[in-house]
Structure 1
């Protein structure tokens, strides 16, 4: 699935594009829609989409004004507009697609297909870079691991992972900053992946990052940096306390 947002000031145009994406582009997961460049900027910064459908001519500011304000343009862009005189500017911004209103289904499908290919190539490149970096620095906290989620493969620095919790054959990862990820990997797979990076399985369903521990409590629980309380099983308590003394 390709994560996408729409930035378009006309309500009818937003809903039309949304319905066409649902009908003809099932690989697109629409995360949200915005009706002004300002709201679009917030949406992009918060949701970090891989693809942005962007109207150019909007009241007050243009889609280009929005792009100029963003620090990173690490997403594909499909411009959607009723004015073809913007084509040269769109090309200068290296847009993957340029669709005129009213939107023709065939042109939308083609533009989305091209954007999807570019996004998948980038994912492959990111995966290869992560592999090389991890091989060069085994066990380094700056290494990233690929985490399979419903949206795709998320690359996360191991140092950002506070803890992992297994639930019904899935694993919830709790990251710094309050973010969470749900992965199709079970907790055992993360034990295998993360133990070389200073993680310890304190309980059948819990894996914690040693560097993110605040305290070990007398009641047999560990308080983590996110203030979560993680139980330590009796069977693993001795090994865990020995590790704590070596930190």
Structure 2
């Protein structure tokens, strides 16, 4: 059972979350709720939750300021936000879980399942998220969760991303591989603004790591690590737009 605290300055949002958790997430026990960030800070210290649902934009003290006041972050964290599309990409880049208002039940259940697997967050994830939200510029690193914690991987070291069912495998320089708990579509939404292109239903490639194009029965791209990636027929035009070839 996960002990949870809800912190959101909108009373209706707090009450709705309580109802949705009771109906759809029986593994969560709400032990505290508040519309005040100051009271939320006190509840975290006193109740020592396993999971915190936290709004970012709150009066007097926002969600980031609340977290900065804590000495440690020994809990899972799910942001609840009405932020725009850019911010959603920032959340994904920092590997922090979030729920968009109005709350979708399926997203809520998935976020709770992730919280059961990851019992604390890394402060560097918050710094990465804050940098991106405040500067409106995506950072040069991506946060990659793995079994022992989080790796902060420079984007230019990612050679390609490969679909693996509901997960995505990142292939990086020096033969490194990382498994993300994100679909390839979710990864695509972030990486395609960073010099990546989805060239196949199964692959997204870093354009900087293309070494040559091979034509035969199909079209293939050979990447810097020697791997050949097929190019889907319908993606040829996108390559043409980016490079003026084919």
TM-score (normalizing by structure 2): 0.46
Return the structure number with greater helix share. 1
TM-score (normalizing by structure 1): 0.46
